[in-house]
A and B are shown apart, each in its own frame.
Chain A
Amino acid sequence: MSKTQGSSHDGATAAVMSAANEAVTTATLPTTAAPSVRAVSVSFVLNGREVTWEGDPSAKLLDVLRDDLRLTGVKCGCREGECGACSILLDGVLVNSCMVAAGRVGGTEVTTIEGYCTTERFKVLDATFARRSAVQCGYCIPGMVLAAEALLSANPHPTEEEVRTGISGNLCRCTGYNAIVDAILDASKEGEGLW
């Protein structure tokens, strides 16, 4: 039994669910337009650079990053907080960007794979993931790498079990996870002092 996938029966999920249902039922166009949303201006540090974004504060950060800021290393796997493909670091904490409202990120530091891949820590993970052939289809990998970073920065010398728990919010359908776990354990040794 899966022990670690969280429940997501929240408002966002319900919204997606009803939208999906609409696609197969005959419905009529709403006669009243949706209440207009006031755009807000949100300033935050994105991959080390100050950015200001304007728009609906309830927009998903995932969409803001991918569609407006063109950071497509942030992958979309489910849009409901289950798969981890859209993982980013928000003030160093691993979050699913599909579960974060854009209005929430004002004044924070956001790191995506595009920023993280320029770091020394990434180089270590890059080498160990390469050696272990831990990358198959690659779709979970940007999120997985950031999950590894979040884990190692909190716990530079994790046990195998801690690694498995640490990345358990990031689904991978290809690998069976062993190579990814081994690559992270290797990085914790070879990156001694970096985390």
Chain B
Amino acid sequence: MHPISQPVVKKDHTEKMAGSAEYVGDFYSTDMLHARFVRSPHPHARILEICYPELPEGYCSVDHRDVLGENIVHVVEDDSPVFEVDEVFYVGDPVAMIIGPDPQRVKALAAATEVRYEVLSAILDIDDSDTVFFDYHYGRGDCEDAFSEADKVYEEQFSTGYQEQAYLETQGMSARYEDGLLTVHGSLQCPYYVHGAIAKATGLPKGSVRVIQDYTGGGFGGKEAYPSFLAAQLGVAAMKVPGKDVRVVYDRREDMEFTSKRHPSRCTYRAAVKDGRVTALEIDVRFNSGAFTTLSPVVLQRGIIAAPGVYHVPSLKVRGRGLRTHTVPTGAYRGFGAPQTFFAIERLMDHIAADLGQDPLDFKLAHAAKKGDPTSTSGIYHYEVPLPEMVDKVCEMSDYRAKRAAYAKEQGRRYRNGIGIALWFHGCGFTGSGERDFIKAVVGLHKHADGTVEVLACNSDIGQGIKTTFSKVVAAELGIPYDQVSYGNPDTSRVPDSGPTVASRSLMTVGELLRRAAARLREEWVDGQEQSVEEHYHEPDFMLPFSLEDFSGDAYPTYAWGVSAIELRYDSLTGANDIVGCWSSFDVGTPIDLAIVTGQMEGGVLQGLGYSSMEQMATDANGRIRNNSYSDYIIPTSADVGELAVSMHVVEFPFGPYGAKGAGELPLVGIAPAFVEAAEQALGARGINHIPLKAEEALEYLGAAQKEAHR
């Protein structure tokens, strides 16, 4: 293990432990105004009239007429309004806001605001969608030939559900306009995304907008784009009441129903098999984008690039569509499109292996890409692909092979076990050339006269420990004690734009810039003097330039790798399962802090286990989310997994600090297919190709298997 992997006490440990860290809802001021939204009750309707109740002194309404800049919340495209003007597109679409000093009264006034609508027809299912937001195609080789020469052709459809980030702290934002300066602080991942969105909506020059990240109670992607909406809406409101703080903190139900979550997906895969090998894949990926584009193009890009999984398949034809429905816009969630397609490819490989009478793990290993092989987009796996060693490790930890054989035999009447295994990667950092063409990250270091060094960057610590790992990298490179380096919550008035806190990029990409900055500062170091250095992003020379036109080239500089085995025990009376264990090996390069990385891996695995089965989110006849509380959107507790074990495998990445690669998203990505493979074995079922897998369905599979056994 590299010396830098040695755990330290996290920079933000003390204040979080003692409850003194201030999250946005914790700030207090005597003249605080509270905000409450007036939202559409219809999935699609024309707004005819907004009638506000008589507003007492100190209370006011805010709607599109108050937007002084453009009525646009900029995400990737510009189709989302700050407030709707004449039409609403999903249940919960914001029409107006009421602000005032007493939160209860604000709530009552928002509820008393009458909006007259003409209800229009709504499209709630992607099968019915008539609007294709994004339609991407790529491929290589000759699929037609491969399918015509195939011994056998397989076709299967896969579907995945919503997943809610369920961060413990709901979304919240606070804004104040004073002396020409609009200051916004809140729970967010990307200070400069928020900054740009506010400037556009308010029409203020960028220098008149200041964004500060507060302590943030979890993000997982949910606070990547959504805070731009809240900040634009509150910024507009704050400019109406200069000199006052205007704040909104969502209640849990509002957060679960109306903020972005993981795209539900439907994928159709066709595979050509010749001489026991998959020679071609034709893949059609469809994601439910909801009412607006938000992050769908980039989520979809990552999803389709990952669609063939870790396998080297000579011929590929891939299509991906993001489809509009009149439902809540979907967006970023840890894994960002890849959990959906990895679910599909891993299940497909399992099912083909079963049909061919082969062991699924051996079948997968025989197809796994190796260093030097082409990636799905005709880039190259430039670095070692450590899957065989990682599979060996997971087999050893889980006793996978012996259990897989044992559970294939007759089992007891009541309890039935099964074990499954999945292989996956996560492309590290932004997809394609985003880092080079759009983000252009800048970092700085400021050395004070007393020798303490401050990190100047805007990546937010949302629990993943970036304050600690940035500080460790800088301290190590400078050869000074960790305590001598500090990194506070980002404030755009003080720090440069080092890019968003997304895509498992912060430590690998921004951390490397900081390491280079520290190396320069070390060279230039003069005792007793204040000194500053700045560093800019350059794309590593080895990369094959990526083109979004035809999806060709290196989509990622390198890959993080994951292998997990999951064992389930089903109760055939109730259909409920116990997760006996989940054993994983992960390669995220050098762990900059082993305890932090282990915590990230374990937390991601647990979210993946939730995604597989217990986290269920249904919608009503209007497409509105029904599972809107922790009472009926069930996330895992401390008592839900028997053994959750993680082992780290290290393939160093020379362009990441001390060999680090991307880490945060990886562990969630491939959990669901391993879970369902285990369920399939335990239930004696075949061809399970959807998640979440419910207990009621487990009972049906068990019943069907028993009938077949008695036949």
Contact = CB atoms under 8 A, between A and B. Distances in A.
Interface of A: 1-5, 7-9, 13, 16-17, 19-20, 22-30, 66, 70, 72-80, 82-83, 85, 112-114, 117, 125-126, 129-142, 145, 163-165, 167-181
Contacts of A74: 19
Interface stretch (B144-152, B196-204, B340-348, B638-646): B638-646
Contacts of B166: 173
Nearest to B37: A23
23 contacts: A1-B577, A1-B634, A4-B637, A5-B630, A16-B251, A17-B253, A20-B628, A24-B91, A26-B115, A29-B108, A29-B109, A66-B26, A78-B630, A79-B252, A126-B14, A129-B17, A130-B13, A135-B12, A137-B168, A164-B638, A171-B635, A172-B638, A179-B598
B92 A137 contact: no
B578 to A, nearest CB: 8
Interface string B1-38: 00000010110111111111111011010000000111
Nearest to A127: B9
B595 A179 contact: yes
Contact of A83 (B18, B168, B254, B605): B168
B56 to A, nearest CB: 11
A79 B162 CA distance: 23
A137 B462 contact: yes
B377 interface: no
A75 B631 contact: no
Q: Select the residue from A22, A114, A178, A181 with max chain B CB neighbours within 10 A.
A: A178
Contacts of B218: 136-137, 139, 173-174
A163 B639 CA distance: 9
Contacts of B604: 176
Nearest to A6: B631
A132 B465 CA distance: 13
A80 B631 contact: yes
Contact of A13 (B53, B167, B631, B640): B631
Contacts, number: 239
Given A22-B111, A133-B465, A141-B17, A173 B39 contact: no
A17 B516 CA distance: 53
Nearest to B667: A176
Contact of B19 (A1, A77, A113, A125): A113
Contacts of B53: 29
A172 B168 contact: yes
Among B19, B116, B167, max chain A CB count under 10 A is at: B19
Contacts of B17: 117, 125-126, 129-130, 135, 138, 141, 145
A135 B10 contact: yes
Contacts of A22: 107, 111
B304 interface: no
Given A5-B634, A28-B112, A75 B107 contact: no
Given A16-B253, A22-B111, A114-B19, A138 B596 contact: no
Query: Which of A25, A26, A72, A141 has the largest number of chain B CB atoms within 10 A?
Result: A26
Given A112-B19, A133-B7, A70 B28 contact: yes
B28 to A, nearest CB: 6
A1 B215 contact: no
Given A20-B251, A133-B593, A135-B17, A176 B168 contact: no
B476 interface: no
Interface string B295-307: 0000000000000
Which of B7, B41, B170, B631 is packed against the most chain A CB atoms within 10 Å? Answer: B631
Given A23-B111, A135-B13, A4 B217 contact: no
B639 A139 contact: no
Contacts of B257: 20
Interface stretch (B525-533, B606-614, B650-658): B606-614
Given A136-B599, A179-B599, A29 B630 contact: no
Contact of B114 (A19, A26, A137): A26
B647 interface: no
B576 interface: yes
Contacts of B22: 72
Nearest to B595: A133
A75 B169 contact: yes
B16 A176 contact: no
B207 interface: no
B659 interface: no
Contacts of A75: 19, 23, 168-169, 217
Given A4-B639, A137-B169, A139-B169, A173 B13 contact: no
B479 interface: no
Given A132-B595, A173-B603, A168 B638 contact: yes
A17 B111 CA distance: 14
A133 B10 contact: yes
Given A1-B577, A5-B637, A20-B253, A27 B111 contact: yes
A117 B168 contact: no
Interface string B198-223: 00000000000000000111111000
Contacts of A181: 638
B9 A171 contact: no
